């Protein structure tokens, strides 16, 4: 019946896959906003919590590190914990995207548009 259409049948299938991918990506965006990761430094003395999109949501500092002479050390530990949380957030987002794109024939280095 559709022999004269050539590759148009494949085009319909590709469009359907693209629409599903768009829906899945929207769901993933919402999921990444609620998924959290925790970075830490100083053997757990400073912990930073962030969403998988990298938004910092919490900071937990062990009170034993608050000594005036250790101000710079505390600042460094806080920055290190935040960087660790952001790194883990990026890794989590990439992992979730890889799971989403698996089997769709997209390049392995496909990145989220955010």
What's the confidence (pLDDT) of residue 9?
64
Tell me: pLDDT of 60 over 70: yes
Tell me: pLDDT of 81 over 90: yes
Q: What mean pLDDT do residues 87-96 have?
A: 91
Q: Which long-range contacts (CB under 8 A, 24 or more apart) does 4-10 make?
A: none
What's the confidence (pLDDT) of residue 97?
83
What's the confidence (pLDDT) of residue 105?
66
Q: What mean pLDDT do residues 79-96 have?
A: 92
What's the confidence (pLDDT) of residue 1?
47
Q: What mean pLDDT do residues 33-43 have?
A: 93
1-34 pLDDT, tens digit per residue, is 455 555 566 778 888 888 888 888 888 889 988 9
Question: Buried b / exposed e across 68-78, counting CB within 10 Å, b at 16+?
Answer: eeeeeebeebb
Question: SS3 for 64?
Answer: helix
């Amino acid at each position: 019946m559709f022999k004269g259409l050539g590759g148009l049948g494949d085009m319909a299938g590709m469009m359907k896959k693209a629409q599903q991918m768009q829906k899945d990506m929207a769901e993933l965006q919402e999921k990444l906003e609620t998924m959290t990761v925790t970075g830490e430094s100083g053997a757990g003395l400073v912990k930073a919590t962030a969403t998988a999109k990298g938004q910092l949501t919490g900071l937990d500092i062990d009170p034993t590190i608050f000594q005036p002479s250790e101000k710079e050390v505390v600042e460094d530990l806080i920055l290190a914990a935040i960087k660790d949380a952001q790194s883990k957030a990026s890794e989590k987002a990439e992992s979730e995207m890889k799971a989403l794109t698996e089997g769709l024939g997209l390049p392995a280095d496909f990145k989220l548009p955010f």
